[in-house]
Structure 1
């Protein structure tokens, strides 16, 4: 009978702990360097076990056996890796436990010790490679049983939150949103922060369930000291109204989100807010990558999605955090897809659906900035075509994204327009300036507005959260 995943993991942990116990014997001082190396691998393996829920019993709905019931090839692959690792660990334990016979002369004993130590190093390297392969299976497991954790969190009515605090914060940070005509967006952005708090609390509960089959001693010895996940503080009062069905359907898993060759950066690092507090009130809430990394192999357990990923630098790490928090919100009313995990998808949505102009293809390319104006024109001038083709067809062929966007259209601030007006006199930023209008390219507008949204999203992270990992500093992280 094939052992379950949880049984295999417990066996590997037991054997690794036996090795560390043996190497801790004062009579084996020559093994001290190897003891540190074995401890590193025990940490890495414990991290993988805890993050993937590998100690869940087979009959649990959260066990790998249950989650991979429709992906038996992946489950078989994981079991094979664990089988191989257990054999390696048992062999290493046998070698470090051996005592040479007293009849062996000193020269022979020295040669035997050298040979054993070479074998031990080779076995340890194979164990390290096996654990690395297990980390790589994490992406296969997530792909085989994909879960949009953000949407799932909002669909669970597990906690109640008062969104008035976050709505008030949005108005205080960006006073323009508290004025008539923008209060609906203030409420929308404030509730988005509250729902991110809901998500972070859900992750806390989710990770607790994954670790629920650890005994108290295992939690103390194997998870608590290695896991980077820290329980997030929340507050509970009045319920808000999460709408998971409205989340953008594109939800790549943690591994897909990170293109390590892509040197793009989060817009929050490119633009500071008008009140100049970007460094200390928002980015400072994100733990530094070095404080999260487990060891020299740079594996990182994200405290915001509980997945283990390798990050190239701080920039890639921040992009991942912003993606986990679904930082980008559609800034137009009555939109069915308000939340997005990446800036490009979010702004493409706005450019294709909202920031558009309607060009009549039947006239001399007359442009209409408003949908209703264009339809009124079609009804009056091209009634026969409208009857034959239908309203939606004529809208689709007429709609095109704006070539430029007025800086005044930033819903969050008015200061940017004044700043650009000053810059327009000194640098070529592609403005089309007059006394009342200054336009910028869509890419520039995207960067500016995205920085506002990112700052609001990061506000959902509790104050002081980063210091739990950084230890020595809560300063803003710097780009590599």
Structure 2
């Protein structure tokens, strides 16, 4: 079991890969994480080396007839603590996975930047955007034209990112050395380190759990891409996946049911082997993830990036967010911030759009009221952010108590609609 977990880590991290996709190349950008990785691998090597040494000595004693009377050869093996060794190996591999996830998250932004220039072969990008715009207009006719265009652009970009990951995975498979080969990687220098000591060197891994949204409107991964019949370009079967839905244009009551129909099933590989490849993030996952619906949904939350800013004027209109927390934080901090004058001699509340406007008001309207040195602190104290992001749904116009969750349903619905589906019929 631990061997399979180590193989999974090595493959996902491209530990034996070459070029820009390799683990070695990523450490050039994050050299501070190299020492913890060395210590973890050194701990694994040291533990395994201890066992092999004890076993070899016992085997040699047996061949030479030594220690048979007093049982010294058996004693050598008995002094090796198997439980402690297994715990150490298990903990070290856990930390390897955590550190690998940390490196992967740090590289996601760079990967998405490279995906922008990826050429989707045999695909009319303008036609795909027009198709998504038509889908949005059909389901949400009251949405502004500006937001329709923005949503369609991000749907195309999400589509492109996934195709880029698949193409990158295929090109990297040929570069990967066999994990079980006799040559293997170079052995790290023995450096025994207790996994508990690594907490001081490895940054805590942020929780990937998303803000809970009703209905679990999440996508499940589509089948494995290793089939030789799978292509990265769209085809008629892909567009058939976008057939007219039963979702009402004015209501979202049936949205959760429709979302369940949009979820691609787990790849069949999760039922036949210890691990499989997710068709969206293109990393190897434990088969338990594919067999458990809750784990599928939790994993897919990391792959959808369904949230985008819904304000007309935005400096980053096409940025996609993986969590509703990040999404709401952006809108509250970038679009709903005001600076309110704290002076009590106003009949009405005075709000300003920028800090500079309030500073000018304080200097001209309340001279000598505040010490100039304290003015920056006063301005920071006057900064307020509205808790209410939406008065009504920009998609359907409804006004609800849980309006943020309601809007998030629409965004995740469209994110699911923009996922490229597999071509193989029996996998859908």
CA-to-aligned-CA distance 1:44-73 (integer Å, 9 cap, x gap): 33322211112236xx45444443352442
Quick one: which of 117, 122, 128 aligns to 1:165? 128
The residue aligned with 1:258 is 208
* Structure-2 separation of matches of 1:176 and 1:397: 43
Mapped partners of 1:64, 1:205: distance in 2 = 18
Please point out which of 332, 336, 360 is paired with 2:315.
Answer: 336
Which residue in the other structure is 1:350 paired with?
Answer: 331
**Equivalent residues of 1:163, 1:190 under 8 A apart:** no
**Partner residue of 2:99?**
140
Which residue is 1:199 aligned to? 161
**Between Structure 1 and Structure 2, how many residues are aligned?**
345
CA distance in 2 between counterparts of 1:169 and 1:163 reads 10
Residues 318 and 139 of structure 1: CA distance in aligned 2, closer, same or farther (over 3 Å): same
Cross-structure match for 2:175: 213
The correspondence of residues 260-339 of structure 1 with structure 2, limited to 5 A, is: 264-267=211-214, 269=216, 274=251, 276-281=254-259, 284-285=262-263, 287=265, 292=270, 303-305=279-281, 306=283, 314-315=293-294, 317-337=296-316, 338-339=319-320
Aligned CA distance change for structure 1 residues 294 and 44 (closer, same or farther; 3 Å):
farther
- Alpha-carbon deviation of 1:205? 3.3
- C-alpha separation in 1, matches of 2:306 and 2:359: 38
Indicate if the aligned counterparts of 1:81 and 1:134 stay in contact, CA closer than 8 A: no
The Cα shift of 1:85 comes to 6.3
Equivalences for residues 5-404 of structure 1 within 5 A: 40-56=1-17, 60-68=19-27, 70=31, 71-84=33-46, 87=49, 126=85, 130=89, 133-143=92-102, 147-156=106-115, 157-160=117-120, 162-173=125-136, 175=138, 177-178=140-141, 182-214=144-176, 255-259=205-209, 264-267=211-214, 269=216, 274=251, 276-281=254-259, 284-285=262-263, 287=265, 292=270, 303-305=279-281, 306=283, 314-315=293-294, 317-337=296-316, 338-355=319-336, 359=340, 361=342, 363-366=346-349, 371=353, 384-385=364-365, 400-402=384-386, 404=388
Q: Is the 8 Å Cα contact of residues 40 and 95 (structure 2) preserved in structure 1? A: no
Query: Given the superposition, is the C-alpha separation of residues 350 and 90 from structure 1 closer, same or farther in structure 2, using an over 3 Å criterion?
Result: same
Give 1:195 shift: 0.9
C-alpha distance 216-73 of structure 1, shift in aligned 2 (>3 A)? closer
TM-score by length of 1: 0.53
Match of 1:456 in 2: 414
Contact 2:40 2:96 in 1 (8 A): yes
Q: How far apart in 2 are the matches of 1:67 and 1:405? A: 38
SS of 1:74 mapped into structure 2:
helix
Which residue is equivalent to 2:230? Answer: none
Contact 1:359 1:398 in 2 (8 A): yes
Residues 206, 81 of structure 1: alpha-carbon distance in 2 compared, 3 angstrom cutoff: farther
Q: Do the aligned partners of 1:358 and 1:399 also contact (CA within 8 Å) in 2?
A: yes
* Contact preservation (8 Å) 2:16, 2:177: no
Helix, strand or coil at the partner of 2:206: helix
Of 324-333 and 128-137, more deviation after overlay is shown by 128-137
Contact 1:268 1:452 in 2 (8 A): no
Distance 1:359 1:73, change over 3 A: closer
- Alpha-carbon RMSD across the aligned residues, in angstroms, is 5.5
SS of the aligned residue for 1:190 comes to: helix
Instruction: Check the 8 A contact 2:336/2:385 in 1, yes or no.
Output: yes
Task: Assess if the C-alpha contact under 8 Å between 1:266 and 1:315 holds in 2.
Answer: no
Deviations, residues 326-359 of structure 1 (Å, cap 9, x unaligned): 2210011231233222101211221233246675
